[in-house]
A and B are shown apart, each in its own frame.
Chain A
């Protein structure tokens, strides 16, 4: 088993990066690898509750994020600094995540076999 870490750094809508990252996370989980899923930079917007993307004809990925635990993805983090910069707190988020500091992010990267930033 390897440790695969994903840094999701892009906003939920507007580009396909967020969905592309989520699909890689799910594939890694299906293959029973140790997965770290880290939301940082613009990626933290993916976690905010209340998305209603019907008007822009985009898929709501929140259901998939909520199902991560069923796939065995338990290590879900949000970079605290990125939340703070955007005036967000845990109360704004739809799914339970662990806050991580920049130093914890660095050490998660250090202990990973493969890191993918999307």
Chain B
């Protein structure tokens, strides 16, 4: 039993990512989409949020949204998926939470 947390707002102007991160438990995954992809940048503020998170949570980012926004550099250990991958993630997890 695991949950896919879908985050669609930027961590720089919303608590969606931080709330998802604190709520996700072992074996869950976080998928960043839309302005949520800004949580994939390699930045100190994101590191700080990440430091309190459970280990063993897989992080994904939606390629189409990253490409649209020209993100400079993604942090380590984050996997890119396309829409087919998004669908696959939804199927692999028994439920999902959309954090906006």
Contacts and interface: CB of A to CB of B under 8 A. Distances in A.
Interface of A: 7, 9, 40-41, 81, 102-103, 105-107, 109-117
Contacts of B95: 109, 112-115
B3 A109 contact: yes
Q: Which 3 A-B pairs have the closest CB atoms?
A: A106-B25, A115-B97, A110-B1
Nearest to B97: A115
B97 A117 contact: yes
Interface of B: 1-3, 15, 19, 22-25, 95-100
Given A115-B3, A117-B98, 20 more contacts: A7-B97, A9-B19, A40-B19, A41-B15, A102-B22, A102-B23, A103-B25, A105-B23, A106-B23, A110-B1, A110-B2, A110-B3, A112-B95, A113-B95, A114-B95, A115-B95, A115-B96, A116-B98, A117-B97, A117-B99
A105 B3 CA distance: 12
Nearest to A110: B1
16 contacts: A9-B19, A41-B15, A102-B22, A102-B23, A105-B23, A106-B25, A107-B25, A110-B1, A110-B25, A111-B1, A112-B95, A113-B95, A114-B95, A117-B97, A117-B98, A117-B100
A102 B23 CA distance: 6
B93 to A, nearest CB: 11
Contacts of A40: 19
A32 to B, nearest CB: 20
A41 B23 contact: no
Nearest to A112: B95
Contacts of A114: 95
A62 B77 CA distance: 45
Contact of A41 (B19, B25, B96, B97): B19
